[in-house]
Amino acid sequence: MRLKPIDIISAAIEIFIGLLIAFVFILIYFYSDFSNYDISVLWTFRVLYLMVLPGVGLLFIILAFVKLYKANKKYKEEEKEDSENEWFNDIIKILWGEIMNYEEMLDFVKKTLEETNGIKSSNPLHKFRNRFDHAKRVYEWCKIIHMDLECDVDVLYTAAIFHDVGRGISQENHAHIGAKIFLNYARGHNFNSDFTKKVYDLIDNHSDKSNITNPNSSNELVLLLEADLLDEEGALGIAWDLMALGAMDNVTYYDANDALRHAKHILKQDYMVTPRAKAIWEHKKKLVLEFTSDLTQDLFLEE
């Protein structure tokens, strides 16, 4: 059934009225005294109270079900029409190369990072970090946090996948270089100019985290920045700090405790703007605060 609540409520009211009419007149008949009427009048009352008037109630019930049937049929036809329109739009997108193949994009980004030695961090303490895995996680975070906002998901997802593709060429200018790499990819895949420009701008501006609170920033840019910040914080941030320490010599539990204070400091900042991102950030903050508090207690240190 594809009926709306208002249709069901309306029909229920009509059915109730119909049942009430039928019940009332049948009740009147059985509790009325017809002893003073002759046989012809008596039969008239019987027909009236047991057939005609209850029939009016039955008519209400039948009409209610007819309305439900027609409403359901109408919604089905509308859905079918929408489905046909979507199918037509998809055909147009295919012809113009606008159906997003995210797996192909991910493969391209991975290959580009490998060819430019951008997969692994140049920092010897962060050899465990995989930038391609980071791009995939940012893409996944975007899928989660965009739900509460109107946005172009194709633009958002594409920018998330490509946002760090320029890391292997330049650390400082990776956003602009990554935007140019995407531009070449878009031209090779016949993406339309409007879509290409939106994705290009997101990649080009994603390094400036102040854009997250800029009222002129698009929803897509805000979501991309949030997703980029959400990754490698919380539990993953703890793992990062401890793995980086593990690459050093002569580290102690106390060094780990000091390092995790940095993660706690970052999470105390209110970077997030959108509802889902805020909730996830608070969850990560709680986890890190509890972990660092327990570690401090286990080391018998003061908070």
Query: DSSP class of residue 228?
Result: H
8 Å CB contact between 230 and 145: yes
Residue 153 CA to residue 16 CA, distance in Å, equals 46
From 95, 123, 143, give the residue that closes a domain.
Answer: 95
Question: Do 197 and 56 reside in the same domain of the chain?
Answer: no
Residue 189 CA to residue 105 CA, distance in Å, equals 11
Query: DSSP class of residue 302?
Result: -
Question: Do 121 and 188 reside in the same domain of the chain?
Answer: yes
In a domain, 123, yes or no: yes
What's the confidence (pLDDT) of residue 79?
Answer: 66
Provide the phi-psi class of 233: left if phi over 0, else alpha when psi is between -120 and 50, else beta: beta
Q: Can you give the CATH number for the domain in which 227 is found?
A: 1.10.3210.10
Question: Do 191 and 289 reside in the same domain of the chain?
Answer: yes
Residue 53 CA to residue 61 CA, distance in Å, equals 13
Residue 277 CA to residue 271 CA, distance in Å, equals 9
Question: Do 109 and 168 reside in the same domain of the chain?
Answer: yes
From 46, 71, 95, give the residue that closes a domain.
Answer: 95
Question: Do 127 and 175 reside in the same domain of the chain?
Answer: yes
Indicate the number of domains in the chain.
2
What's the confidence (pLDDT) of residue 73?
Answer: 75
In a domain, 126, yes or no: yes
From 73, 95, 117, give the residue that closes a domain.
Answer: 95
Which of 161, 175, 279, 151 lies closest to 223 in space, CA to CA?
151
In a domain, 251, yes or no: yes
In a domain, 229, yes or no: yes
Residue 248 CA to residue 241 CA, distance in Å, equals 11
In a domain, 42, yes or no: yes
What's the confidence (pLDDT) of residue 45?
Answer: 56
8 Å CB contact between 226 and 272: yes
Cβ atoms within 10 Å, residue 162: 28
Q: Which domain holds residue 202?
A: 102-296
Question: Do 241 and 267 reside in the same domain of the chain?
Answer: yes
Task: Name, in order, each residue with C-beta under 8 angstroms of 224's C-beta and a sequence gap of 6 or more.
Answer: 138, 142, 156, 159, 160, 163, 202, 206
Global pTM reads 0.69
Question: Do 91 and 177 reside in the same domain of the chain?
Answer: no
Query: DSSP class of residue 247?
Result: T
- Bridge partners, residue 120, by sequence: 130
How does pLDDT run along the chain (303 residues), one tens digit per residue? Answer: 455 667 677 767 777 776 776 667 666 666 665 566 555 555 565 555 556 555 666 676 777 777 777 777 777 776 666 555 566 555 555 544 456 799 999 999 999 999 999 999 888 888 889 999 999 999 999 999 999 899 999 999 999 999 999 999 998 899 999 999 999 999 999 899 999 999 999 999 999 999 999 999 999 999 999 999 999 999 999 999 999 999 999 999 999 999 888 777 777 888 899 999 999 999 999 999 999 999 999 999 986
Question: Do 110 and 185 reside in the same domain of the chain?
Answer: yes
Both tokens assigned to 49: 């109270």
Amino acid at 34: F
Residue 62 CA to residue 190 CA, distance in Å, equals 57
8 Å CB contact between 145 and 197: no
Question: Do 215 and 84 reside in the same domain of the chain?
Answer: no
Question: Do 126 and 240 reside in the same domain of the chain?
Answer: yes
Question: Do 111 and 88 reside in the same domain of the chain?
Answer: no
In a domain, 302, yes or no: no
In a domain, 163, yes or no: yes
- Bridge partners, residue 130, by sequence: 120
What's the confidence (pLDDT) of residue 71?
Answer: 75
Question: Do 9 and 152 reside in the same domain of the chain?
Answer: no
Q: Which residue has the tokens 């910040």?
A: 229
